[in-house]
Chain A
């Protein structure tokens, strides 16, 4: 059911061409470890794409290459036709461990990107204040990160990324270190935000439920050296509601993804072929 192909192709917004990345081995004298192997994919404007795969497969690395934080060894990423050469002000990033600046208050953290880009203090404070209020953090403007719970910190992290009004939001397991309930709440909130602002989102996770709940399309990656072995469209209606988690379709998708991820984890690609028979094409 997942192999729906070639619907009238939206013009590719983000294109990933033959991305290969190698890292030095943990021990000296060993060969380089190939993390990403000729990864190809493309993402349409306004699409919510989730990267999922076995842990350590290079999902986060791919995300960072797409954002321009680290260079690829081979291949290139283009956004709107332009090759990515480094991070840009119209792309926001949300991190797994929040990465708030501990010496900045919630408000100052949210205003960080605006401050770098020379936005005046009145305007950036106003914007940061509105974003914090929208995240349910009104009244916490002057709190330091250490005074906030994990969920609140990640709301600040999300607000910080949204403050620069990015075209694309890169999210690296943003809810991975939150407790189960907070995680569900944050997923709901993210859905609301995405519905309201309509951004392109690239989201890394290893949580199948999260993937199905949030994604328009899920890219399943193999074990290292990773490729995208399958893409799964999620045709659940938007906005996604909490009750959909109980829908049979939801469960089937989840089970299917788990199956694929597990298979990817078991068939170590260093031994066998990486290409999965059901691997879908892109574009």
Chain B
């Protein structure tokens, strides 16, 4: 996080570009006959209204809860399996092709299977979130272990470090930046997964809010929902990035 006043130039650029975007949006949305994309002057009252009547906030909390549960499971599984794959060659040989195939595939296509397998309830939604967030965490963790500096491992060995001590004092801290980066990307994907689950698997929370607004052609309300969802994603990502930077202070500012 930057201290206000230090980066005035960037702050001005950022505010100016945001203002320009909203102005353009306002202009475009107010064109006669424009229906699908209402202007901010209609979206924001709808946003305030949705927040005040409690529907949007409650929906967001429900969605975030699904995301959080799924993300936690994905984090544990992803980090653990990433460490295993990077250290155990047979696990690497058997699992890496599967991981790559799954990572490149759109997880959404698994929705029907998940629906049948776990049912359409909470478990199904969480399962989808796990699948959304898991692979990026795993792949990052694995990449982290592979870049551990051999000379630092040797240094630890010269102090008679055991295998476990090497894992704890060398492998883990060197891998940490990669794990945290994977977790940050995973958080974003978890939020995405939760919303997809609530749009496609079991319509509820934010998904319900969006679908209901869309189905009744309440475009300002729909846009308010989308806007709020994006804002929420931004906040979650910012927070994750903040935690990441905080725990990696040893790398210095220059890295970011």
- Chain A residues close to B by CB (< 8 Å): 67, 69, 86-89, 91-93, 95, 97, 99, 101-105, 112-113, 115-117, 144, 146-147, 164, 170
Contact = CB atoms under 8 A, between A and B. Distances in A.
18 contacts: A69-B154, A87-B158, A91-B158, A95-B151, A97-B151, A99-B154, A99-B155, A101-B152, A101-B155, A103-B251, A112-B169, A115-B169, A116-B159, A116-B160, A116-B165, A117-B160, A146-B252, A170-B158
A95 B155 contact: yes
Given A88-B160, A144-B252, A116 B151 contact: no
B155 A116 contact: no
B251 A102 contact: yes
* Chain A, interface SS category: loop
A88 B161 CA distance: 9
Contacts of B160: 86-89, 116-117
Interface in B215-252: 250-252
Nearest to B155: A99
A103 B251 CA distance: 7
Contacts of A103: 173-174, 176, 250-251
A171 B174 CA distance: 25
Interface residues of B, number: 19
Nearest to B170: A101
Nearest to B248: A103
B173 A101 contact: yes
B152 A99 contact: yes
Contact of A112 (B151, B159, B176, B250): B159
Contact of A93 (B152, B155, B170, B176): B155
A67 B158 contact: yes
A95 to B, nearest CB: 6
Nearest to B165: A116
A97 B176 CA distance: 22
Interface string B155-181: 111111100010001100110100000
Most buried by A among B155, B160, B250: B155
A144 B250 CA distance: 6
Contacts of B155: 93, 95, 99, 101
A176 to B, nearest CB: 14
A69 B159 contact: no
Nearest to B159: A113
Contacts of A147: 252
Contact of B158 (A69, A104, A117): A69
Interface in B172-192: 173-174, 176
Contacts of B161: 116
A87 B251 contact: no
A231 B162 CA distance: 37
A249 to B, nearest CB: 35
